[in-house]
Amino acid sequence: MPKFAANLTMLYNELGFLERFDAASAGGFRGVEFLFPYAFPATEIRARLERNRLALVLHNLPAGNWEAGERGIACHPDRVGEFQDGVGKAIEYAKALQVPQLNCLAGVAPKGVPRDSAESTFVTNLAFAAGKLKAEGLRLLIEPINTYDIPGFFLSGTKQALDIIDATGSDNVFVQYDIYHMQRMEGELANTIRKNLSRIGHLQLADNPGRNEPGTGEINYPYLFRTIDALGYDGWIGCEYKPATTTAAGLSWIDPWR
CATH of the domain at 219: 3.20.20.150
Task: Characterise 140 by phi-psi region: left (phi > 0), alpha (psi -120 to 50), beta (else).
Answer: beta
For the stretch 16-74, pLDDT in tens is: 999 999 999 999 999 999 999 999 999 999 999 999 999 999 999 999 999 999 999 99
- Residue among 33, 119, 143, 213 flagged as catalytic: 143
- Residue among 33, 119, 213, 240 flagged as catalytic: 240
Does pTM top 0.95 for this prediction?
A: yes
Task: Characterise 107 by phi-psi region: left (phi > 0), alpha (psi -120 to 50), beta (else).
Answer: left
pLDDT over threshold 90, residue 181: yes
State the residue range of the domain holding 59.
Answer: 3-257
Cis peptide before 62 (omega within 30 of 0): no
**Whole-number Å distance between alpha carbons of 157 and 160:** 5
The yes-or-no answer on residue 143 being catalytic is yes
Q: How many domains does the chain have?
A: 1
The yes-or-no answer on residue 218 being catalytic is no
Residue 140 near residue 104, CB atoms below 8 Å: yes
For the stretch 86-136, pLDDT in tens is: 999 999 999 999 999 999 999 999 999 999 999 999 999 999 999 999 999
**Whole-number Å distance between alpha carbons of 24 and 14:** 12
Helices (H), the chain: 19-26, 42-51, 80-97, 115-135, 158-168, 179-185, 189-196, 221-230
Confidence band, pLDDT 50/70/90 cuts, at residue 2: confident
